[in-house]
Structure 1
Amino acid sequence: MRLTSEQRLDDGVLESEFTLGEIPGTLWTPGSAAPVPLVLMAHNNGLPRKDPRLVARARHTAAAGYAVATIDAAGCGDRPRSAADERIRAELRRAVQAGEPVDEILESLVGPLVERAVPEWRTALDALLALPGIGGPVGYSGWAALGIRLAVAEPRIAAAGFFAGGYVPHAQREEARQVTVPLLFLLQWDDEGNPRQRALDLFDAFGSERKTLHANLGGHVGTPWFEVEDGCRFYDRHLR
């Protein structure tokens, strides 16, 4: 891991940019000098780590006493896209504009994206836990498809918060039964691009004995800010 820049923000959080091989990432840490738990934070379907909504969630969570880290998935954010990725994304845009079914296209896009992303997140986790000031345990927040796969593959994940919005491939829907960590699942009741019943079926499939569903009225990007605050209380219960 190589640190490329850092700055102290006005809320006291230290924002550090880093690279891990070819993988760019960002780490936010609180002002506390004591070792703190770590929350891995990812955006649905690999949106950039610098997306303002993710940054706002990360900063709030760090100010609450957590180290928060995110990386760009392959072909997303600051990372180059392959010609195959560009073709699939162009086909997805065309189908959405034409009002055609997109599940098959999303399956071919998101499934490989998850498979490539999980080993990189595990490598990043190794490097992050080796840093002074980060002591674990580890939580996860965000992209459900990645989070399901990571929670199954990575025993260091102790609690997870998933956003119901975003396509979850068939493989991860099956794997949901193997997710047993405490779980907080956020659903936007009127999400225009993600069928409500599919999200409810996914919640029902999770194997966790301690799982909570929060549903709010509104569209895909309308998750209320108080859910970020509730998310911190969820991590307080299970990571401290």
Structure 2
Amino acid sequence: MQFTSEQRLDDGVLAREFTLGEIPGTLWTPESAAPAPLILMAHNNGLPKAEPRLVARARFTARCGYAVAAIDAAGCGGRPRSAADERARAELRRAMRAGEPLDGIFESFIGPLVEKAVPEWRTTLDALLSLPGVGGPVGYSGWMALGIRLAAVEPRIAAAGFFAGGYVPRAQCEEARQITVPLLMLLQWDDEGNPRQRALDLFDAFDSREKTLHANTGGHTGTPWFEVEDANRFFGRHLK
């Protein structure tokens, strides 16, 4: 892991850009010199680690005493996309304009993104936990399709916060039954692009003894800011 820039922000959080092979990422850490629990923060399929909503959540979470990391996985953010990725995105846009069923296209598009992203997140986790000032336990916050696979295969994930927005491939719907870590799931009740019942069915499928569902009115990007504060209380119970 090589750090390429470092900036002390006006809220005291240290933001460092890094590269790990071809993987670009950002690590936000609090002012305290003590090792901080780590939260992996992933945005939905293809959005960059510099997306303003993710950065705002990351900085707030770091101020609460956590190390927070985000990466641009393969095909996401500014990283090159394969010809197959571009074809899938173009087909998705065409089908949406035409009002055609989207499940098959989403399956062929999101499934490979998850498959490629999980190994890169695990490699990043290995490197982060070797840094001074970063410790366990480890939490996950963000994109549900990726988080399900990561929590299913990565025993270092001790708690997970999922955003129930975006298509979840069939493989991850099955893997949800393997998830036993404490879970907080956020659902936007009026999310125009994500059927509510699918999210509720997934919540039922998780095998966690402690699982909590927070549902709020509003569309896809309307999650209230107080949910960020509640998420930090959730992680505080399980990571500190």
Matched, 1:117 2:117: yes
Check conservation: 1:137, 1:157, Cα contact below 8 A. Answer: yes
- Could you tell me whether the CA contact under 8 Å between 1:15 and 1:27 is conserved in 2? yes
Unaligned runs of 5+ in 2: none
Name segments (4+ residues, structure 1) moved above 4 Å: none
How far apart, CA to CA, are the structure 2 residues paired with 1:51 and 1:198? 26
Partner of 1:198: 198
What is the distance in 2 between the residues matched to 1:10 and 1:232? 21
For 1:132 and 1:149, the matched residues in 2 are separated by 28
2:107 matched residue in structure 1: 107
Structure 1: 5+ residue stretches without partners? none
Q: What's 1:129 paired with?
A: 129
Q: Which residue number corresponds to residue 43 of structure 1? A: 43
Q: Note the C-alpha offset of 1:73.
A: 1.5
Cα distance between partner residues in 2 of 1:104 and 1:196? 19
Aligned residues: 240
C-alpha deviations, 1:111-158, integer Å up to 9, x for none?
Answer: 011011111100000000000001110000000011000001000000
TM-score w.r.t. length of structure 1 = 0.99
The answer for the alignment partner of 2:154 in structure 1 is 154
* 8 A Cα contact 1:45 1:167, kept in partner: no
Using the alignment, how far apart are the partners of 1:176 and 1:79 within structure 2? Answer: 29
Q: Which amino acid aligns with 1:5?
A: S
Whether the aligned pair in 1 keeps the contact of 2:45 and 2:76 (CA below 8 Å) is: no
- Find the aligned partners of 1:99 and 1:61 in 2 and give their Cα distance: 39
Amino acid at match of 2:91: E
Is the Cα–Cα contact under 8 Å of residues 36 and 133 in structure 1 kept in the other structure? yes
After superposition, give the CA deviation of every residue in 1:28-54 in whole Å (9 maximum; x if it has no partner).
000000001000000112311110010
* Alignment deviations for residues 75-105 of structure 1 (CA, whole Å, 9 cap, x no partner): 1112101111101101101111121111111
Q: Does 1:189 align with 2:178?
A: no
Task: Measure how far apart 1:198 and its partner are.
Answer: 0.4
TM-score, normalised relative to structure 2:
0.99
Q: Does 1:75 align with 2:64?
A: no
Quick check: 1:164–1:188 contact (8 Å CA) kept in 2? yes
Match for residue 223 of structure 2? 223
The whole-number CA distance in structure 2 between the counterparts of 1:228 and 1:172 is 25
SS in 1 for 2:19: strand
Report what 2:31 is aligned to: 31
Give percent identity, aligned residues only.
82
Which residue number in structure 2 is paired with residue 62 of structure 1?
62
Q: State the shift of 1:174 in Å.
A: 0.3
After superposition, the C-alpha distances for 1:14-41 in whole angstroms (9 at most, x for unaligned) are 0000000001000000000000100000
- The residue number in structure 1 matching 2:180 is 180
Match of 1:168 in 2: 168
Deviations 1:199-232, CA, capped at 9 Å, x for gaps: 0000000010100000000000000000000000
Q: RMSD across aligned C-alpha pairs, in angstroms?
A: 0.6
| Counterpart contact for 1:24–1:78, Cα < 8 Å | no
